[in-house]
Amino acid sequence: MLEPLVEAVVSALPNAVVIFSPQGNVLAYNSKALELFGFNSMQDKSVEDLAQTCTLENGSPIASSIFVSPQANEPRRFMIRSKKTGKWILVYASPVASDGAQQGKNKVGAITIYSEKTEIVKNLSKLSRELQQKTKYQVNIEKPLLEAIKLRDDFISMASHELKTPLTSMKLQAEIVKRKHNETQLTRDQLDKLFSTWEEQLERLNSLIDGMLDVSALSEGKIKTHPCKLDLGKAIKSQVGRFYTEQISFIKKKQVIGTWDPRRIDQIVSNLLTNAIKYGHKKPIEIILDQDGNSAVIEVTDHGEGIARENFEKIFKRFERVPSDISVGGIGLGLYIVKQIVETTGGSIAVKSKKGEGSTFTVRIPLSS
Amino acid sequence: MKTILLVEDDIFIRESLAELLKMENYRVVVAPDGEKAKRLLLQGFIPDLIVLDLLMPVMSGEQFLQDAEIQALLELIPVVVLTAGLISGLPKKIVRAIIAKPPNIQELLQTIKRLLND
């Protein structure tokens, strides 16, 4: 037993303190220590008893020698956790040689001072969890973000290429006209041809810009529709007529009347036909109109390049164009626009295709949207 | 009379630039893609200059410039690249000028003239 004065000092200390004898028995302790380790009393307890109620930081058991090791002449600091109270405890263990004993001869006791660090540990692990989550979030968001940026850049370069191409031919033609006009060499036929080329180029520019505006409206959910009663067969026939080609045959299996926005129907038909012509290798194209229950069904088939199965999903995405054997104009908006419009009517679009054999796009739209 | 090989897939650009070059008293031979242009060279047609678009079907301008079969020939013929796209990594030895679409017509014609007189 220690002197009453020492005991009084120990119990007055603000930290939890336990003093062990060279044999490892508890000589003195204070109430703070009881509270930390969850004991009612430490009378007759040994360093073993204490060690058994705790684990090291990583959860592994504690060797009792850690508190009073004769090898540890230096004070040591380490973190333990009480199994009883769940508290995190920073230990400061200071070996004390007993009277007349030499250090290293197993005659060493210890004064151990403990302070609770549960709050700090909790905060630290909360921080680390948050950090982990943030890192995970960053990884999750980074990839699609980079992809979106790349897609945007590809789109800008594709769009500017597409816009500059008609500008180039118009500029060259303007130079030719200027020269010929100076020499008054232009015949009426030449002028007619020139003006119709310019009209065509301007139309090309205009539809590119329309496409871009549509996409921006679609992605912001601002697309406006003005539905009215419509004979779908007539609408398709007039679109087919706009292509001035014998390549397309229109097969109307049934007269289909419904309520749709005529402009949107035109867009669906014209975008599908434009693609069929682009990728159709100049072979015949069929557009078939039918009705299936309460839905109109429009089927556009070409017998050209076809689409590889792995690209089926990709072709409906914004700005996407899949690798092609032929270089065709366009900025990868057509099918995206079609899909968005079809979906706003509550309809669907599907593709069947085989590489090298052509593609069939099937649009189903409810008779009234 | 100097001969220019014009390689361009857009029919409107091809026809109008060919006409303009003819007005400048050049003989003009056209090809709609790199592959057809390559075939012309391999058949023994050697122009004095090539005006080359980059984004073309079948064989792009870049592929044409890097084609092993015509490398030796290309080193003898000045090439003017006329493109609406972004350009990087074109072989400097072969490409003597790069002109953006839509071009400044005077600049385009002067560049062609300069390279032909070099």
Question: According to the model, what pLDDT value does residue A324 have?
Answer: 62
> How, if at all, do strands A285-292 and A248-252 pair?
parallel
- Delimit the domains of chain B by residue range: 3-117
The enclosing H or E element of A354 equals strand A348-354
> Could you say which of B23, B58, B103 has the minimum Cβ distance to residue A168?
B103
CATH code of the domain containing A272: 3.30.565.10
Of B57, B60, B105, nearest to A171 by CB-CB distance is: B105
pLDDT averages per 10-residue partition of chain A, 369 residues: 79 88 86 89 88 87 74 76 89 74 56 85 88 81 79 76 89 90 79 85 82 74 81 92 86 94 89 90 94 96 91 78 60 82 91 92 91
Q: How far is CA A264 from the centre of its chain?
A: 31
Nearest CA in chain A to B13: A169
Phi-psi region of A297 (alpha: psi -120 to 50; beta: other; left: phi over 0): beta
**Element of type H or E holding A343:** helix A334-344
Tell which A residues from 320 to 349 touch B, by Cβ distance under 8 Å: 325-328
Report percent pLDDT > 70 for chain B. 97
Residue of B nearest to A174 (CA): B16
- Compute the distance between CA of residue B8 and CA of residue B16 in angstroms, rounded to an integer: 11
Q: If phi over 0 gives left and psi between -120 and 50 gives alpha, with beta otherwise, what is residue A26?
A: beta
Residues A169 and A239 in one domain: no
What CATH code is assigned to B3-117?
3.40.50.2300
Query: Rounded to 10 degrees, what is the CA torsion of B69, B73, B75, B76?
Result: 180
Note the ipTM here.
0.88
Size of interface A-B (CB pairs under 8 A): 59
Q: How many domains is chain A partitioned into structurally?
A: 3
pLDDT of residue A104: 47
Q: What is the pTM of this model?
A: 0.56
> Closest to B57 (Cβ–Cβ): which among A160, A161, A327?
A327
- Indicate whether A106 and A152 sit together in one domain: no
Q: Which residues of A touch B100 (CB under 8 A)?
A: 164
At B52, list the tokens.
């080359």
The secondary structure element, H or E, covering residue A342 is: helix A334-344
pLDDT at B42: 95
CB-based contact (8 Å) between A169 and chain B? yes
Contact: B13, A326; criterion CB under 8 Å: no
- Is A169 in Cβ contact with B19 (below 8 Å)? no
Q: Are B55 and A327 in contact (CB under 8 A)?
A: yes
- Out of A160, A176, A327, whose CB is closest to B16? A176
Query: Is the domain of A146 the same as that of A108?
Result: no
Query: Does one domain contain both A13 and A105?
Result: yes
DSSP B3-51: EEEEE-S-HHHHHHHHHHHHHTT-EEEEESSHHHHHHHHHTT---SEEE
Contact list in B for residue A194 (CB cut-off 8 A) is none
- For chain B, the helix, strand and coil percentages under 3-state DSSP, each to the nearest 5: 40, 20, 40
Kind and range of the H or E run holding A28 = strand A26-29
Q: Which of A194, A219, A244 is the last residue of a domain?
A: A219
| Nearest-neighbour CA in chain A from B9: distance (Å) | 9
Residue B51 pLDDT: 97
Q: Higher pLDDT residue, B117 or A101? A: B117
Tell me the CATH number at A88: 3.30.450.20
Which pLDDT score is estimated for A319?
66
d(CA A171, CA A10): 97
Which of B56, B86, B102 is the closest to A157 by Cβ?
B86
Mean pLDDT of B94-113: 93
B positions 8-67 inside 8 Å of A (CB): 9-10, 12-13, 16-17, 19-20, 23, 33, 55-58, 60
Q: Which two tokens stand for residue B72?
A: 């030796």
> Among A188, A219, A250, where does a domain finish?
A219
Phi, psi of A119 (to 5 degrees): -60, -45
pLDDT in tens, B5-33: 999 998 889 999 999 999 999 999 999 99
Query: Do B17 and A166 make contact, defined as CB atoms within 8 angstroms?
Result: no
> Looking at CA atoms only, how far is residue B21 from chain A in angstroms?
10
Residues A241 and A209 in one domain: no
Domain edge (last residue) among A177, A202, A219:
A219
The verdict on A46 and A131 lying in the same domain is no
Domain that holds residue A256: 228-366
Cβ atoms < 10 Å from Cβ of B5: 22
Scan residues 65-104 of B and list those with Cβ closer than 8 Å to A: 84-86, 100-103
